[in-house]
Amino acid sequence: MEGKQAEDKKFKEWEQGEDAKFKGWGWCLLVLLIGAMVAAAAGLTVLKGFNHFKKSSGHHGAINKKYADVLELALQFFDVQKSGKLEKNRIPWRGDSGLQDGWQQGLDLSKGMYDAVNQLGYAQESLKWIIDYLINAHPSPDVLYIQVGDPDVDHNCWQRPETMTEKRPLLQVNTSFPGTDVAAETAAAMASASLVFKKINSSYSNLLLTHAQQLFQFADTYRGSYSESIPQLQKFYNSTGYGDELLWAAAWLYHATGDKLYLKYVTEMNGEEFSNWGNPTWFSWDDKHAGGQVSYHSSQSKTYIRVYVKFCSRINMFGVEGMSTEENLELQMYRETAEAFMCMLLPDSPTATSSRTENGLIRVLKWNSLQYPVASAFLAVLFSDYMVASHIPTLYCSGKFYSPADLRSFALSQADYVLGKNPMEMSFLVGYGEDYPQYVHHRGSSIPVDAKTGCGDGFEWLDSLS
């Protein structure tokens, strides 16, 4: 207990010294969901195809082993969170769990992830694990199961998933209780995953596209927020809207299929209503505007870069053959908003955001706070590579010019801060570096494997070493 108190004190001292504006903020480990798993697999695909990218774009530089090692370590998080009959288990204190999930509806929902050194091959295996769960959770075109378990009950228990005995109810969205946001997000995940498997398992890739297209049709036809359809979810993951998810899904489907109807969907059909042009917002689990804007902006390049979410083979900087003037103007609006977001991230830009600590970490909200700097860093790298590939030397920000190197410098500053280059000299990635959090708020890792606990008596290990 003394160790836990010492760690809490250390974090509190850092918090007070770093930025008084955010008093009361406590550290937490990110709960990474479907999009993160797709990003990890896509990121490793990037590493595999990086030499081709360097040759074709003139962007040179060896892969940094430090970040490759970090990526490999971070991927273990998905092993830690797995549900179901575990295969090739790399975590000795994890075992099979949730094997009966979905049985009451005749479904196998045992796989998936709990809330809370062939890297490429392993990332693809982990991605397939969660995508298999999504396939099973979508048994018919207009039905999607979105939750297994009761969050109120789960939050009142402290036990390993392997020993759960509580009831595991299912929640679904359907035509009577729509969930446009979650259905469209799932469609985006499946469409993006189809690209990962396109060359290594074409039949599986085609299956994912079928599910993605059905889910998008369902999401768009029966519009409504899942947290309004199922109010008990609002205190856990309350959705602020669904327009951004519809655009996000359509963008991925356009990239996966090449069907211009999806491009038309994000421009003249729904761009003005859903895109939030001219108002950059933070990229997060609930808001996909920034990701979509960078993707649509990148889609205007002549150069095709296979390893990123780009639509460059079909769209150029100044328009697309066969597109209407309105569609091209709306793509330009996406471009301007994406550029405004990049300018907001650069610390010495005239329009730089004030949502950062004294030492430069993007800091928006106190809960799941690291999702914002990490997501922003990813988009900055994506935008930087787009500029290099498109031979665009500078980004204009209200009187100042910035290079792709400036965007990469920002991205590295965020990653390095998280990995220990901060006033505490502590890594926020568990297992990385010499000093990292030891008292992790995690049921499975805090309770000994051989402990016999029920729902409530496991709380004695709440503050134990993980």
Across 264-283, average pLDDT = 76
Nearest to 189 by CA among 252, 237, 141: 252
Nearest to 311 by CA among 364, 384, 260, 374: 260
Catalytic site includes residue 441: yes
pLDDT digits (tens, 9 = 90+) for 296-322: 555 443 322 333 333 333 343 334 555
pLDDT digits (tens, 9 = 90+) for 119-144: 556 678 888 988 999 999 999 999 99
User: Looking at domain 32-257, which CATH architecture does it have?
Assistant: Alpha/alpha barrel (1.50)
| pLDDT of res. 9 | 66
| pLDDT of res. 27 | 22
Two tokens, residue 189: 């995940």
Topology classification of domain 260-435: Glycosyltransferase (1.50.10)
| pLDDT of res. 274 | 73
Paired strand residues for 388: none
Where do the CATH 1.50.10.10 domains begin and end in the chain?
32-257, 260-435
Torsion of CA 263, 372, 363, 421, to 10 degrees: -130
pLDDT of 350 above 90? yes
Residues ≥6 apart with Cβ < 8 Å to 129: 78, 82, 84, 111, 112
pLDDT digits (tens, 9 = 90+) for 8-66: 666 666 665 565 333 222 222 222 334 444 444 444 443 444 344 444 444 555 678 88
pLDDT band per the 50, 70, 90 thresholds, residue 117: very low
Percent of the chain with pLDDT over 70: 74
pTM above 0.85, yes or no: no
Query: What is the average pLDDT value for the chain, to the nearest integer?
Result: 79
Residue 231 has, within 13 A of its CA and on its CB side, a CA count of: 0
Bridge pairing between strands 395-397 and 144-148: unpaired
Torsion of CA 225, 278, 189, 94, to 10 degrees: -90
Nearest to 297 by CA among 205, 206, 373, 389: 389
Bridge pairing between strands 144-148 and 400-402: unpaired
| pLDDT of res. 361 | 96
Residues ≥6 apart with Cβ < 8 Å to 119: 44, 47, 68, 71, 72, 75
d(CA 392, CA 375): 23
**Catalytic position from the list 211, 297, 441, 442:** 441
